[in-house]
Structure 1
Amino acid sequence: MSTPEELLQKTEFDYVVVGGGSAGAAVAARLSEDPDVEVALVEAGPDDRGQDVILRLDRWMELLESGYDWDYPIEPQENGNSFMRHARAKVMGGCSSHNSCIAFWAPREDIDEWEQRFGATGWNAETAYALYRRLEQNEDAGPDAPHHGDSGPVHLMNIPPEDPSGQALLDACEQAGIPRTRFNTGETVINGAGLFQINRQADGTRASSSVSYIHPILDRPNFTLLTDFRARELRIDADDVCTGVDVVDSVVGRTHALTARHEVIVSTGAIDTPKLLMLSGIGPAAHLEEHGVRVRVDSPGVGQNLQDHPEGVIQWEANKPLPQTSTQWWEIGIFTTTEDGLDRPDLMFHYGTVPFDMHTLRQGYPTTENGFCLTPNVTHARSRGTVRLRSRDFRDKPMVDPRYFTDPHDMRVMIAGIRKAREIVAQPAMAEWAGRELYPGAEVQTDEQLRDYITKTHNTVYHPAGSVRMGPADDPMSPLDPDLRVKGVRNLRVADASVMPELTTVNPNITTMMIGERCADLVKQARVSAGSAGASATA
């Protein structure tokens, strides 16, 4: 592999995409389809090629708190687990190179809500679903599914029904009133359970955004991949035009100036994107001044509106040996509701055949090497957190405060989730599999006991979003307009999960890739419009 210094053969491009993650890889690949534009993709982490621990999906849990993880601690939580950490990928492909590759189209209601409730004009299910189809090649989404893309870069497949404990769990769900279902059929699953679809290739390689979008285009003469370069600050001139970005190489720590003739697209994720904007003078004025950062745009919504899927866990010993191989160890999803009248589920479970004890062991709960768990998570948590600068030094980790369970709705749903998990596993279909409940334990029954257990041991599904949300031009709390342009600065856009006004009901990784696809379309449209305007002016 080349060193960062060897990669940096030129510094001026038409478009510079900062962040080679789920959305950024899609933006760069699509923009570089035009041979007349030069595109650079800048990634702070290393290349993923040749890295088996990255590319083999069944090894994904080895990546947590590894050298491929930014591993952000969270601020002390008044109602949550202060030991929790946010895994954010430090490698090409971003979190699509770091996660379990659970692949979901968001419910239509989620995307329509972005437009109808939050004023993100143009972001609706019709547009999003066309982009989902464009980005994927879907092995099988069921006989009733609408036509799925058959030539997109991202390969989706059904998890095969090979795990007998998982099949027993699906039987138990049916006995508990939650029917079997297929996912990604175009219909919203309000109450149903099934095997996930995952973005994985047939040989077990994860179909990350890097594998899917970037590996096939590395020989394009107009595309430059710069790995191991970390963004330090956006370059913004006196006329509030973003002209590029200062990046620091990982070998000698030297700063280099990259120039963008047309636009910079920031795709560094829901934690690092607000950090980079604030370091560049775009954010809440008082906060920037506190850290000695020159204020270019007073944008109070930068770093606000942080959302996540908080996750609990309930674990059982298994009475029989569990499978020793898996696609990625979390193969089944369950959706249901905790109240009547909802158009989307407010509760989701992942089913894992692993000891999920990363927060229970320190609290003294027993563990096992042969156990299974259900992890209830709140699909639309109402608690909102913040991302803030720790200092003006780009090397310092930001202050991430999710403010878990500060809205009582979220704890109510989570407690209901623990009770629903017990109801499912108590069904006859699981009788031969379910042994002792290890945590929280059968003696933990009251709301107060469950609340205490959840507060001490909950985790996250690692889905931070919403911290640089898009919205109407006149909304001061939306730093972006619906075309993903940063308000107050020209030639600067954002494309990653931070732009979501509301986090999706489901695992958001495929939706984040979709955001990258749409961003590329918007940039291309702007280029065409600018060309047409120039031609008219000279006619």
Structure 2
Amino acid sequence: MSSLIASPNYTFVKSAEHAPPISYYDYIIVGGGTAGCPLAATLSQKFKVLLLERGGSPYGNKNITNLAYFADTLADNSPTSASQRFVSEDGVINARARVLGGGSCLNAGFYTRASPQYARKAGWDWRLVNESYRWVEKIVAFEPPVLQWQSALRDGLLEVGVTPFNGFSFDHIYGTKVGGTIFDIDGYRHTAADLLEYANPDGLTVLLRARVERIMFRYKGKQRPVAHGVAFRDPAGTKHKAYLKKGSKNEIILSAGAMGSPQLLMLSGIGPRSHLESLGIRVLVDQPNVGQGMADNPMNAIFVPSPEPVEVSLIQVVGITKFGSFVEGASGSNFASPTSGEPPSRNFGMFSPQVLTQIKSVTVLFLAALSELGFSAVHRTTGQLSTIPPKQRTPEAIARAVHAMNNLGESSFRGGFILEKVSGPLSTGHLELRNRNPDDNPSVTFNYFKDPLDLQRCIKGIETIEKVVQSKALSKFRYPYISIEALLNMTANFPVNLIPRHDNDSKSLAQYCKDTVMTIWHYHGGCQVERVVDYDYKVLGCDALRVIDGSTFNSSPGTNPQATVMMLGR
């Protein structure tokens, strides 16, 4: 384990309680996540920078740093956890980061760049893009050890025509490849917070548990608002203010993510007039596009129970198809078995985040049925939930389901799942405030599969997974007497989201896509280029304010966005 993970010498990181009541900086960055950390490290070389992070440190938290405890990070929804759960208005369970390092502390670790075409469309300098990727990769990116199950997935993709094989590569290339990972050879996660190793300690102050309430503005010529400070509270609730020093180039930069950045703009008076006025927020800039264009790459999966032991693996191999769907997979006993020490606890709360529910709970149904480890009890207590609307699911029924799952043996969690996700969905939605409390999640709707072309791409993706499951390459890791239809039906009958189930006896893949849609945390939009910010990421309608994070994206870059978000911060 690297010394940086064990004990980073970040003398510039402290709790917000130690902040003075009033302070002054050249740049103030709100959000110490995947973009905010590399951005702060870069600016600190020449300027005095304040980085405000609403969460705590990732270091010393085994659920974050150790691959073996990946699922437990998402299961923890305590008030100070690194993961803040939210449920979209679509009924899909999701998570947003609340920790230094942001989503790179919660995700499955896959590291892959955006395509040159994506960069050109974004108006980026390709030479600078590549230099910035390499800057990131020196610290956080690794080549994964591809063992038996991932090798079988790779060979299965090639066997069914997702070609050519492009070997190990960070690049976004059609065909099948092995991508990078932010987990090192010992299974320890490296995050965007590690990029603070590049920072000038004399130029940077990082405050943890700093909850920004609003951006403060003054007026330029009594016409145009100019951002000049932020108001935030420390863990004790004490209010602090940080201001920009006088200087024409000094700025406040929002890097609070696709949920946090549009939320903070609205709380600060920049957003749709009618919506802000309905909450009693003074409107500084009537900007109807704030919170619009929200999209999430829909994910659907099929679990494949294995008669053979499988290695613990997160996302390593990807099939990049030309019809707009990416195929990936993960494997392991209990999804992630510990490499050392006591085993992680199994938390099968019915409202755990999507992927945790899919992996652990669908595994229960498949393998409990196969090994007769109480399938009838599990079916009685969980299967009934799938046809009952979310509001009618009683705490007693949920408790029985959780108890049944937690009492199954470790052998009930052997296998892998293969997923497909629709790239650049055409279906979009919107985000709105629920109230004026910055700690509360806003309301967000993604409108999964509203556009029929997205649904068609999901169907093609599922059909590709079906072929891979039946491929010769994967035969060692599947039970030959379990049909594809059985796998689909069992998955469709489990509550992987809060959407009421439909009868899938017609074997409609379109209905399967709708019923089993999940997130893989690639949501974006809300502060998009040419709508809320310009091509330099400056907020339209005001001065000294930018947004630099995934909220500016019109589509999610590459197969996974974290590499590009870190690159953008640099």
Q: What band does the TM-score fall into relative to the shorter chain?
A: 0.7 to 0.9
What is the match of residue 9 of structure 2?
none
Check whether the contact 2:143–2:168 (CA below 8 A) recurs between aligned residues.
no
**What's the CA shift for 1:3?**
4.4
2:542 paired with 1:489: yes
Q: Paired residue for 1:5?
A: 17
1:377 matched to 2:421? The reply is: yes
| Distance 1:246-1:447 versus aligned 2 partners, 3 A rule | farther
Q: Which amino acid counterpart does residue 171 of structure 1 have in structure 2?
A: D
Letter paired with 2:551: S
Q: How does 1:161-172 map to 2 (within 5 A)?
A: 161=146, 163-172=147-156
8 Å Cα contact 1:283-1:300 kept in structure 2: yes
Task: Give 3-state SS (helix, strand or coil) of 1:376's partner.
Answer: strand
Structure 2 match to 1:73 = 87
Q: For the structure 1 residues 307 and 363, does the alpha-carbon distance in structure 2 shift closer, same or farther, using more than 3 Å as the test? A: farther
Alpha-carbon separation, structure 2, partners of 1:125 and 1:502: 18
- 2:124 is the alignment partner of 1:100: no
Whole-angstrom CA distance in 2 between matches of 1:11 and 1:205:
36
Deviation at 1:57, TM superposition (A): 3.5
Q: Which residue of 2 aligns with 1:293?
A: 281
Q: Secondary structure at the match of 1:381?
A: coil
Change (3 A) 1:505 1:407: farther
In the TM superposition, what is the alpha-carbon distance from 1:443 to its structure 2 partner? 11
Match for residue 353 of structure 1?
331
User: Would the aligned equivalents of 1:466 and 1:503 in 2 still touch at CA under 8 Å?
Assistant: no
Q: 1:450 aligns with which of 490, 509, 512?
A: 509
CA distance in 1, matches of 2:117, 2:212: 35
Deviation, structure 1 residue 165: 2.0
- The answer to whether structure 1 residue 249 and structure 2 residue 234 are counterparts is yes
Instruction: Please tell me the residue identity of whatever aligns with 2:40.
Output: A
Alpha-carbon distance in 2 for matches of 1:443, 1:201: 32
Pairs within 5 Å for 1:211-360: 211=194, 213-215=195-197, 217=199, 220-239=201-220, 240-250=225-235, 252-261=236-245, 262-323=250-311, 325-326=312-313, 329-338=314-323, 346-354=324-332, 358=357
What is the rounded CA distance, in whole Å, between the counterparts of 2:544 and 2:518 in structure 1? 38
* Amino acid aligned to 1:347: S
Instruction: Quote the Cα distance in structure 2 between the aligned partners of 1:245 and 1:357.
Output: 36
Show CA shifts across 1:319-354 (max 9, x none): 21112x44xx3322122133xxxxxxx010121114
Cα 1:8–1:206 shift into 2, 3 Å: farther
Three-state SS of the structure 1 residue aligned to 2:513 is helix
In structure 1, distance between residues paired with 2:259 and 2:190: 23
Q: Identity percentage over the alignment? A: 28
Which residue does the alignment assign to 1:17?
Answer: 29
- 1:111–1:43 distance in 2 versus 1, CA, 3 Å: same
Q: Aligned partners of 1:245 and 1:46: how far apart in 2?
A: 19
Letter in 1 for 2:283: V
Q: What are the superposed Cα offsets for residues 74-96 of structure 1, whole Å, 9 maximum, x if unpaired?
A: 11x3xxxx1x2221111100001
Q: Is the 8 A contact 2:170 2:180 kept in 1?
A: no
Question: How much does 1:214 deviate?
Answer: 1.8
Amino acid at match of 2:231: D
- Alpha carbons of structure 1 residues 185 and 461: separation in structure 2 relative to 1, 3 Å: closer
- Deviation of residue 241 (structure 1)? 0.9
Aligned with 1:330: secondary structure?
Answer: coil
Amino acid corresponding to residue 535 of structure 2 in structure 1: P
CA 1:442–1:22: 2 relative to 1, 3 Å: closer
Distance 1:357 1:9, change over 3 A: closer
User: C-alpha offsets along residues 452-482 of structure 1, whole Å, 9 cap, x if unaligned?
Assistant: 23222221110111210112xxxxxx11011
Are 1:113 and 1:124, in contact at CA under 8 Å, matched by a contact in 2?
Answer: no
Q: 1:184 to 1:126 in 2, by over 3 A?
A: farther
Q: Name the structure 2 match of 1:412.
A: 456
Partner of 1:397: 441
Report what 2:488 is aligned to: 440
User: By how many angstroms is 1:9 displaced?
Assistant: 7.7
Counterpart Cα distance in 1 of 2:274 and 2:383: 39
Structure with more of its chain in helix, by fraction? 2
Distance 1:63 1:447 in 2: 37
1:209 paired residue among 184, 192, 196: 192
- In 2, the alpha carbon distance for the partners of 1:483 and 1:468 equals 13
For 1:71, the aligned partner's letter is: R
1:194 is aligned to: 177
Q: Which moved more, 1:271-280 or 1:196-205?
A: 196-205
**Structure 1 284/443 Cα, relative in aligned 2: closer, same or farther at 3 Å?**
closer
Q: Does 1:173 align with 2:157?
A: yes
Give the whole-Å Cα distance in 2 for the aligned partners of 1:31 and 1:40.
Answer: 10
Displacement after TM superposition at 1:500 (Å): 1.4
| Structure 2 counterpart SS, 1:92 | coil
Q: Is the 8 A contact 2:32 2:51 kept in 1?
A: yes
Which residue of structure 2 aligns with residue 515 of structure 1? Answer: 568
Task: Please list the CA deviations of residues 117-147 of structure 1 after superposition, one character each: whole Å capped at 9, or x if unmatched.
Answer: xxxxxx254442332233322xxxxxxxxxx
SS of 2:319's partner is: strand
Residue 158 of structure 1 corresponds to 143
Q: Provide the TM-score with structure 2 as the length reference.
A: 0.76
For residues 67 and 19 of structure 2, the distance between their equivalents in structure 1, rounded to whole angstroms, comes to 28
The offset of 1:485, in angstroms, is 0.7
| Aligned position for 1:48 | 58
CA, structure 1 residues 22+443, in 2 after alignment: closer, same or farther (shift >3 Å)? closer
| Post-superposition offset of 1:509 | 0.4
1:469 aligns with 2:528: yes
The code of the aligned residue for 1:6 comes to H
**Offset of 1:255 from its aligned partner?**
1.8
Matches within 5 A, 1:113-132: 113-115=121-123, 123-132=124-133
Encode CA deviations 1:388-444: one digit per residue, 9 max, x unaligned: 111123233200111111111111111111111111121122222212356314999
The CA distance in 1 between the partners of 2:506 and 2:284, in whole Å, is 48
Q: Give, as a single letter, the amino acid of the residue that structure 2 aligns with 1:56.
A: N
Change (3 A) 1:442 1:363: closer
1:68 shift after superposition: 1.4
- The CA distance in 1 between the partners of 2:170 and 2:282, in whole Å, is 49
Pair 1:298–1:380, CA change in 2 (3 A): same
Structure 2 gaps, min length 5: 1-12, 336-354, 363-381, 387-404, 493-503
RMSD: 2.5
Q: State the AA in 2 paired with 1:73.
A: V
Q: Given residue 259 of structure 1, which amino acid in structure 2 is its aligned partner? A: Y
1:91 aligns with 2:121: no
Following the alignment from structure 2 to structure 1, what is the Cα–Cα distance between the partners of residues 491 and 268?
52
SS in structure 2 at match of 1:160? coil
Does the CA-based 8 Å contact 2:302-2:491 persist in structure 1?
A: no
Structure 1 pair 418/442, CA: closer, same or farther in 2 (3 Å)?
farther
Contact residue 23 and residue 512 of structure 1 kept, 8 A: yes
Following superposition, the deviation at residue 198 of structure 1 comes to 0.9
